[in-house]
Structure 1
Amino acid sequence: MKFFDEAIIFVQAGKGGDGCISFLREKYIPKGGPNGGNGGNGGNVYFLTDHNLNTLSKFHFKKKYLAENGFSGKKNQCTGKKGKDLILTIPVGTRIIDFKKKIILADLNKNNQKFLIVHGGKYGLGNINFKTSINRSPYQNTKGNLGEIKILKLELILIADIGMLGLPNAGKSTFVKTVSKAKTKIGNYPFTTIEPILGVVKNNIGNSFLIADIPGIIKNAALGKGLGLNFLKHLERCHLLLHLVDISNINKIINNINIINNELKKFNQKLFFKEQWLIFNKIDLLKNREKIDIYIKKILIKFKYIKKYYLISSKKKIGIKKLCYNIFEYIKKNYNK
């Protein structure tokens, strides 16, 4: 199934049931008083998160959602039945945005979170409510109110501890597959990853962290080129970004790092200043490794906001254990996981 992380939908709560006009008519009470009951409230519309869902695809194909109307009141002061509530299940990490006002109404990032999005209309009053000392036979009732209506934008932002950054073919998919056994597509061509992929990394004492891989970012992604910028929002919740750099072409390293960070900065300043580690991949392809440490130190001077770097080979599994261990320690120290 195709991955959908956005949808625009229409939701409407149920209308309240009308009040009833009725009078008591029995064998020995031919002209009894009013006994029309109230209507029932209209149904509400709720959102409920479910960790088993990971896409908004169902909202892409169906756009309109209506809760049940309340039922009208009946004679003998019988209240109308309340309309059934409508509960829409969504993935954990979904933002609910008022499409017209551009306001975030809810950001649901825990499993089983329930959020009331539109209220059902209030019930109408039956004529029993209008009886007075001077009006003993009121032919009067009220209609039920309409339910609330909203046009919403749903925006799914994946929840992961670690996010991957890098140009196409930097080796992100191979890295994620190596550390997590996630089913990633690997190939010697750009954009083998065309949608976000999540993988779980576990250590030998039962701890784990969630890692997210997104499509590679290219120059001028902010202008709509490539795929990566469409999915950068999925890194917003991450505690740490791993910026994977292909070290095999040493003359382009600084330029390649700049491309990613410039696009990141254009997209979101908060994301740009998130904790980021440089991961130099494909060291198995280097012929002369003696000068690499000196060169990397020059790189770190240039990128002062990047605190750590690692030399790895995802394909040969060089440096992977140390990196994963340090990620576990970072999360444990800073986020008590």
Structure 2
Amino acid sequence: MFVDKTRIRIKAGNGGDGKVNFYTDTMTMHGGPDGGDGGKGGDVIAIADEGLNNLVDYYYTKKFHAANGENGGKSKAYGKSGEDLILKVPCGTIIRDSETGNVIADMINHGEKHILVRGGLGGRGNAKFANSRRQTPTFSELGEKTKEYSVDLELKTIADVGLIGFPSVGKSKILSVLTSARPKIAAYHFTTLSPNLGVVKYYDKSFVIADIPGLIEGASEGKGLGFEFLKHIERTKILLHIVDIAAVDGRDPVEDFEIINKELKAYNEEVYNSPQIIVLNKMDLIYDEESVKKLNEFKQKYGKDYKIIEFSAATRQGVDELLNTVIEEIEKLPKKEHSYVEIHELDKRDYTSINITREDDGTFVVSGGLIDKMSRGIILSDPESFAYFQRRLKQNGIIDKLIEKGLQEGDNVKIGVYEFEYVE
């Protein structure tokens, strides 16, 4: 089964909670705070792997969660960090935020790595809150909780050479002749419903070739499976335009050639301008006067603008000439730069923002990255914890900002998930 587009849900691991603990041993009953910090949650990381050629691994399984960090321990022991989750994807995979459509990773080269979402930070243990004034803190900090995100994976095949042409012109057969690939071949339109890739090895040279599924008129407008097929041509360096010069299906080779190029131009000007080599397939069937006439007319019409190779997948006529021509063209080309894609961060952490709004009932609501971080350490039932939180609010100017917004004694204030009455 070939899958070139799918949607999955990913989530980094939560951070482990900090520990509240006090040192004790046979000689010490009431020692100082020694609660350790929680471990960091695991990241979700995408890695490009040239050994993969489709996204089937992400078709049946839809949820991918990295491991949580472990909680801190006594004796200031750090919690173990959560294990990272590795998502291996084929080279050429684009990863998008499902909600916004923004590209968050474009996996081009083998081994390329991209952190999609980062694990939550571990909470601080009570040992970290001790100072000269607060010698026995009875509170710690919770680990940072992470969000689940929906992302779209889309594969755009990466190959040096792309085979294009109408259905049943012999592309799959040519691929099998040139490479070790063995696609299933039958004489039907839309024979190939997914790109077949193979590696051509010719003396000391090699290149990757892809059989792009057969195009039809209107493909650039999405007819048939147009968009699904055409995207796989975008990253090829050279196009081998396969033409059934024997017109086995009764079609006109010139008309077929023009239609395919029209679709390429309508879909993507850059793809249309890629170097093309015309491969006139089924030359073994050119033997009568009429077919020879069509061959000569085609060569006369396009011979000045394109390199034309007479070829037969059945008899292997033209194999060496075609391979030498392709290698020569590849080596002449400057290194093709992939179109720039703006990369957006999916999980942009914010630890500094402060937002103050007021609800219809008069309640002041304080939110933002700084508040989320600070509220992880609140334990309302613990006077020491709450006093520490109040001091942090004053130190960061949040109380002053609330007063500027009209806060008065007795007003309700909601900070994070907590709500309380303001007392001066």
Of 288, 297, 301, which residue of structure 1 is paired with 2:300?
297
Of 221, 230, 233, which residue of structure 2 is paired with 1:232?
230
Aligned-partner residue type, residue 330 of structure 2: I
The number of residues matched between the two structures is 330
Of residues 152-161 and 224-233 in structure 1, the stretch that sits farther from structure 2 once superposed is 224-233
- Retained in 1: the 8 A contact 2:35–2:126? yes
Identity over aligned pairs, percent: 39
Aligned-partner residue type, residue 306 of structure 2: K
- Retained in 1: the 8 A contact 2:5–2:152? yes
CA 1:113 to 1:23, structure 2 compared with 1: closer, same or farther past 3 Å?
A: same
Based on CA coordinates, which of the two structures has the bigger radius of gyration?
2
- Retained in 2: the 8 A contact 1:214–1:228? no
TM-fit CA distance, 1:243: 0.9
SS of residue in 2 equivalent to 1:326 = helix
Paired with 1:78 and 1:177, the residues of 2 have a C-alpha distance of: 60
Q: Which residue number in structure 1 is paired with residue 284 of structure 2?
A: 284
Kindly report structure 1 stretches of 4+ aligned residues shifted beyond 6 Å: none
Matched, 1:218 2:221: no
TM-score normalised by L of structure 1: 0.89
CA 1:235 to 1:291, structure 2 compared with 1: closer, same or farther past 3 Å?
A: closer
TM-fit CA distance, 1:291: 6.8
Paired with 2:207 and 2:24, the residues of 1 have a C-alpha distance of: 71
TM-score normalised by L of structure 2: 0.72
TM-fit CA distance, 1:298: 2.6
- Retained in 2: the 8 A contact 1:118–1:148? no
Aligned-partner residue type, residue 241 of structure 2: H
TM-superposition CA deviations, 1:45-99 (whole Å, max 9, x none)? 1122333322211100011111111111122212111111111222233222222
Matched, 1:62 2:69: no
TM-fit CA distance, 1:181: 4.1
Task: Compute the RMSD of aligned alpha carbons.
Answer: 2.3
- Retained in 1: the 8 A contact 2:220–2:230? no
5+ long unaligned stretches in structure 2: 336-424
1:243-254 matched pairs, under 5 angstroms:
243-249=241-247, 252-254=252-254
TM-fit CA distance, 1:300: 5.6
Q: Which residue number in structure 2 is paired with residue 209 of structure 1?
A: 207
- Retained in 1: the 8 A contact 2:280–2:310? yes
Aligned-partner residue type, residue 230 of structure 2: L
Q: Which residue number in structure 1 is paired with residue 22 of structure 2?
A: 23
1:1-337 matched pairs, under 5 angstroms:
2-147=1-146, 149-203=148-202, 205-227=203-225, 229-249=227-247, 252-286=252-286, 287-288=288-289, 289=292, 292-299=295-302, 306-334=305-333
TM-fit CA distance, 1:294: 4.6
TM-superposition CA deviations, 1:162-212 (whole Å, max 9, x none)? 101101111212222222242123333212222111122222x23122211
TM-superposition CA deviations, 1:100-154 (whole Å, max 9, x none)? 2322222223323332211110111111111222222222211111235432111
